[in-house]
Amino acid sequence: MNGNKRPRLEHRESISSETASKAQLTRACAECKKHKIKCFVQQGGTACNKCIKSGIICVPHNFAQKFIDKDATWKSEADITLDRLKAAVQHLLQLNHLPRLELFNDPQSLPVPVCEVFVQTLSPSTTHTNSVVPGNFISEGPSANHHEDDSDLVPLPMNNLYNLTEPGNSRLIRVDPAEVNGPDFISRGVVSVAEAEYLFCHFRDHINPLLWDGVLCSHGTLQEARQSSSLLIATVLTVAALHLPDREQSLHATYDAFVSLMRGSCMLRSQNLDDIRGLCIGAFYLTSLSWALCSRAVRVATEMNLHKSSLQFSRGSIESYERVRLWYVLYVCDHQFALAYGRPPMMHEDAAIRNAEKLLTSGLSSKGDWKLVAQVELFRILAGAYFMYGCDPDLELNGSDFEMLQSFNISVDQWRLQYQPKNPGVASHCVNPAKGTALYYHLARFQLNSLSLRGISARSSESDMSWDRKEAANNAIAAATNALRLIIEDVELRNALIGMPIFTHAMIAVCASFLIKMAVVYGVSDTRNVRKLVLPKNLTKYGLNFHTKDALCSVESLVLVLKPVADNASQRHVARQVITGLEELLQRFAKSREGDLFIYSPSGDTEHPAVAVVNHDISHSATAEESLFAPDIVDVTHADYILPDGSHDQDTTQLFGLENAQQDPFDLLGDLDWRFNDSFLWGIDSGAPYI
């Protein structure tokens, strides 16, 4: 039979029935294809033999699966690329101080034509010739936030100058940003990572809460802070080492690193809010650099347009919240040092400062914001007094000046009522806001009422002060005494004192020295030794509520309770210098043989010093608050002198036995015009550097 001939019908039917009984051969499923084996599916079944034996789900062949797999791979790669592009754009927006990327969804909500500004920022006409090194600092030049166009009839003078000239040719001093933005001092091995971790944790847990509940350092770990700002971490570690005993080596290493970083960044422009926070922390705690750091912080903040953030915040810009809050910190810092150094403040009362309480109604505020706004309002009052009376210690108050002084006192009283916590509670770091408000209140009243003693000299021929002047002087005496007693009697406040900024220690020291000088100024010469002064029991004959023994006891008690507190800090901490200076002053006093009188010796050669001659009844009850302010103290003297028998004698040469008849009794203790470099108080060599 021919092989090409078709079989008969019966034979074909038998073959098909035989084939149907066998397993069906299909396109391989995913599992069989993976193992490269034949895939058999029983008739009527949905899974192949291999998948049934393995107990897995049989995925039938899908011709489009390879396209699905390729599409999933492409999408995954596209998502990664898109995330990278978003991160790059966000970084560029941050570098150029433009709004966040999310705000571009609604161009109508943007405060300025941001796209145009962004294009101008990246245009060749405004970019620097030197490439910008990634980091917190860029080269000096025109502000990135100011770009004038031809439609502006009166542009900003400096921006106009930069537009008319070539910035690259006008820079006389060139600083490489890589020197500042390179590896931080921890990476270079200045301090070990373990030591840096220890110092950072101490600052975070013990010092940072005293700065308005951590407003100035929100980073929880050392790594976060290092990634944000080298300047901030250098300041934090320096301040932490300053507040720990036996950390002198770390203190010097971190301090030198901080100074080096500051030196390199002074000719560069900062572009990070944490840099400003680091400058503020340094100003609050590093005495020798306080004024320089404060002024630098204000300058950097204005370059970053923080002074405009309040207006943006009032329009609903949530991103401006941190900038507004930092602007208020700068206001407090600036006015503290302006009063401390007797210099005009750089920041004045603008709309943002007058409307500071709006920060508390934004829904974003915290307890730290409440304390910060309270200090802003208090310094508004003190700034008003500064601009009213100036800082000349020889400028005597008269007539209507006392009426205005009384109005300032009323404002401080109202401030205390407004910001006295209704339910203060106790925070985790043992800070009682009620005690802090009370301390601020007493120190503010002392700052204001001490102005009444300006221009009153011990050589004056007037035997009596006016009633208004006596009232204000008594207020100053009471405020200084109450401030000291609050520190002495409150154990929690005293324990937190070591972590408070230098303004607190300066105020405590100046209140103590004020009381000591008030005790000396009315003294008369000892008949047995004209170089010594016999101090009266009290000054009630002159309308002053001042008792010499009580004043000296308060100062002595202060020294005794602060000694163990200072032992918890570095040898270079300002608290130790305050105690040393006050102890030296107290050594100049001795008990007189005539009852409760005291003898004062300018040279300190007293036979029986008055230190430790009184019994101390010190109670311990409350807690502390953060930073304070330092006042501008002026000369405090009196008209004439009272002999022990009550008679008057106006011959200063006879009374004091001094070669120079024009010698003022206050010269025995130094100028009362408060300055941080008052070496007689610190008890150190004025030429020796200190932190």
- pLDDT tens across 509-568, in order? 889 988 988 888 877 877 776 678 888 888 888 889 999 999 999 999 999 999 998 998
Q: Give Dmax (Cα) for the chain.
A: 162
User: Would you say residue 125 has pLDDT above 70?
Assistant: no
DSSP code, position 205: I
pLDDT value, residue 646? 41
| Of the candidate ranges 335-349, 445-459, 485-499, the one whose mean pLDDT is the lowest | 445-459
User: Would you say residue 22 has pLDDT above 80?
Assistant: no
User: Would you say residue 337 has pLDDT above 90?
Assistant: no
Predicted confidence band at 500 (pLDDT cuts at 50, 70, 90)?
confident
Cross-strand pairs, 269? 138
Q: What single string gives the DSSP state of each residue in 573-624?
A: SHHHHHHHHHHHHHTTEEE-SSTT-EEE-TT---SSB-TT-S---------B
User: Would you say residue 407 has pLDDT above 60?
Assistant: yes
Tokens at 638, concatenated: 């009196």
pLDDT value, residue 158? 60
Residue 96 CB-half CA count within 13 A: 24
Predicted confidence band at 420 (pLDDT cuts at 50, 70, 90)?
confident
Q: Which of 230, 238, 229 is nearest to 203 (CA)?
A: 238
Residue 533 to residue 652: CA distance in whole angstroms:
12
Which whole number is the average pLDDT over 343-347? 88
Q: Residue 475 phi/psi, 5° resolution?
A: -65, -40
Helix (H, G, I), strand (E, B) or coil at 73: helix
pLDDT value, residue 464? 67
For the stretch 230-289, pLDDT in tens is 899 999 999 999 999 989 999 999 999 999 888 888 877 777 899 999 999 999 999 888
Q: Which of 140, 157, 159 is nearest to 148 (CA)?
A: 159
User: Would you say residue 167 has pLDDT above 70?
Assistant: no
319 or 307: whose pLDDT is higher?
307
pLDDT value, residue 179? 58
pLDDT value, residue 243? 93
pLDDT value, residue 434? 84
35 or 102: whose pLDDT is higher?
35
Predicted confidence band at 154 (pLDDT cuts at 50, 70, 90)?
low
Which whole number is the average pLDDT over 30-41? 86
User: Would you say residue 475 has pLDDT above 90?
Assistant: yes
Predicted confidence band at 181 (pLDDT cuts at 50, 70, 90)?
low
Tokens at 200, concatenated: 């950072």
User: Would you say residue 76 has pLDDT above 80?
Assistant: yes
For the stretch 602-642, pLDDT in tens is 766 655 555 443 433 333 333 333 322 223 332 323 323 33
pLDDT value, residue 80? 87
Residue 422 to residue 69: CA distance in whole angstroms:
65
Give Cα 35 distance to the centre of its chain. Answer: 67
Residue 368 to residue 203: CA distance in whole angstroms:
17
Helix (H, G, I), strand (E, B) or coil at 138: strand
End-to-end CA distance of the chain: 118
User: Would you say residue 326 has pLDDT above 80?
Assistant: yes
Residue 94 to residue 118: CA distance in whole angstroms:
11
Is the CB of residue 385 less than 8 Å from the CB of residue 379?
A: no
| Of the candidate ranges 216-230, 408-422, 487-501, 514-528, the one whose mean pLDDT is the lowest | 514-528
pLDDT value, residue 237? 96
Polymer length in residues for the chain:
691
All structural domains of the chain: 23-62 (4.10.240), 97-126 (no CATH), 392-424+431-612+649-682 (no CATH)
Helix (H, G, I), strand (E, B) or coil at 268: strand
Q: At what angle do helices 193-202 and 248-265 cross, to 10 degrees?
A: 90
Q: Which of 476, 491, 384, 493 is nearest to 438 (CA)?
A: 493
pLDDT value, residue 199? 96
Give Cα 437 distance to the centre of its chain. Answer: 18
30 or 385: whose pLDDT is higher?
385
Is the CB of residue 96 less than 8 Å from the CB of residue 128?
A: no
Residue 231 to residue 258: CA distance in whole angstroms:
7
Q: Which of 247, 153, 159, 166 is nearest to 200 (CA)?
A: 247
Is the CB of residue 626 less than 8 Å from the CB of residue 333?
A: no
Is the CB of residue 594 less than 8 Å from the CB of residue 536?
A: no
User: Would you say residue 146 has pLDDT above 50?
Assistant: no
Predicted confidence band at 309 (pLDDT cuts at 50, 70, 90)?
confident
Q: What single string gives the DSSP state of each residue in 75-103?
A: HHHHHHHHHHHHHHHHHHHHHTT---GGG
Tokens at 274, concatenated: 């944490």
pLDDT value, residue 256? 92
Is the CB of residue 440 less than 8 Å from the CB of residue 378?
A: yes
Q: What single string gives the DSSP state of each residue in 410-473?
A: HHHHHHHHHHS-SS----TT-B-HHHHHHHHHHHHHHHHHGGGGTT--TT-S-----HHHHHHH
Q: How many CB atoms lie within 10 A of CB 578?
A: 25
Helix (H, G, I), strand (E, B) or coil at 137: strand
181 or 340: whose pLDDT is higher?
340
Residue-averaged pLDDT of the chain: 74
Which whole number is the average pLDDT over 87-109? 71
**Residue with tokens 């109005």, as numbered in its chain:** 407
Q: How many CB atoms lie within 10 A of CB 4?
A: 5
89 or 123: whose pLDDT is higher?
89
Helix (H, G, I), strand (E, B) or coil at 226: helix
pTM of this prediction?
0.68
pLDDT value, residue 205? 92
Which whole number is the average pLDDT over 494-505? 86
Residue 375 to residue 383: CA distance in whole angstroms:
12
Is the CB of residue 636 less than 8 Å from the CB of residue 517?
A: yes
Which whole number is the average pLDDT over 101-129? 48
Q: How many CB atoms lie within 10 A of CB 628?
A: 25
Which whole number is the average pLDDT over 415-438? 73
